[in-house]
Amino acid sequence: MIDAIEYNTEREHLIIPEYGRHIQKMINYAKTKESKEERNKLAKAIISVMGNMQPHLRDVSDFQHKLWDQLFIMSNFELDVDSPFEQPSKEELNERPAVLKYPQNFPKYRFYGNNIKTMIDVANTWEEGEMKEALIYTIANHMKKSFLNWNKDTVEDDVIFQHLYELSEGKINLKESTEDLTDANRLLKSNKKYASNKSNNNSNKKNYSKKNNNNNRNRKRY
């Protein structure tokens, strides 16, 4: 009796393990039938069983198409049946996907991030006026805040204006501006306040969770 035991390591490899070994055996059995009519009947029966095993796919628009594709894949593309959909090819399945094009932006001043460059590009498209001027100074203040996140000491407004000039390719020039940006100490204080609030929130969550656990342990059980 022990000799008849089968181990998974000795069994046939499951192409799509989610369907289990019985579905794989049904497909292998259908491949052995000489009559195409009989193979078609078996294929439809197998598709029905596969559909019952995947109820969450019933809301998917191409539900049946996906099941037929999986049937051919599990048959190693050797099951000759009439499918209501175009049969996929083995070459198509093994074809490597196209390489995704990731943005390869390497700004000169990385501590500002790519979003700053995007904001600057948008500002350059705006017409001259109060709205554009307000946006430019908002960007400059955000740049100063980002700079201080990287360098905790301080930074002169002239440095930010120079970086803004370079990142905008000379289209935004605040070098002669008499308006000051937000004070560095105020920005650093704002950053510390945000970090402190975040830390307090995490601490409160831990204390609340600990209190609930203690209450659950002290609760009487009947």
- With b meaning 16 or more CB within 10 Å and e meaning fewer, what string describes 96-130? eeeeeeeeeeeeebeebeeebbebbeebeeeeeee
What pLDDT shows up at residue 221?
Answer: 42
Q: Is 205 inside a domain boundary?
A: no
Judge if 102 and 165 occupy the same domain: yes
Q: Is residue 143 part of a domain?
A: yes
How far, in Å, CA of 158 to CA of 151, rounded? 16
Instruction: Tell me the residue range of the domain where 21 lies.
Output: 7-94
What pLDDT shows up at residue 220?
43
Quick check: is 56 in a domain?
Answer: yes
Indicate whether 162 and 176 sit together in one domain.
yes
Residue 210 lies in a domain: no
The angle at the Cα of 165, spanning 161 to 171, to the nearest 5 degrees, equals 130
What is the per-residue pLDDT for 45? Answer: 95
Is 214 among the domain residues?
no
Q: What pLDDT shows up at residue 33? A: 94
Report if residue 193 sits inside a domain.
no
DSSP type of residue 88 = P
Q: How many domains does the chain have?
A: 2
pLDDT digits (tens, 9 = 90+) for 31-66: 999 999 999 999 999 999 999 888 887 667 788 899
Q: Is 200 a domain residue? A: no
Q: Which pLDDT does position 126 carry in this prediction?
A: 93
Instruction: State which of 63, 94, 125 marks the end of a domain.
Output: 94
Judged by DSSP in three states, 169 sits in: coil
CA nearest 62: which of 96, 90, 86? 86
| Residue 32 domain flag | yes
- Say what the pTM is: 0.46
Ranges of residues in the chain whose predicted pLDDT is under 50? 194, 219-222
Per-residue pLDDT, 74: 94
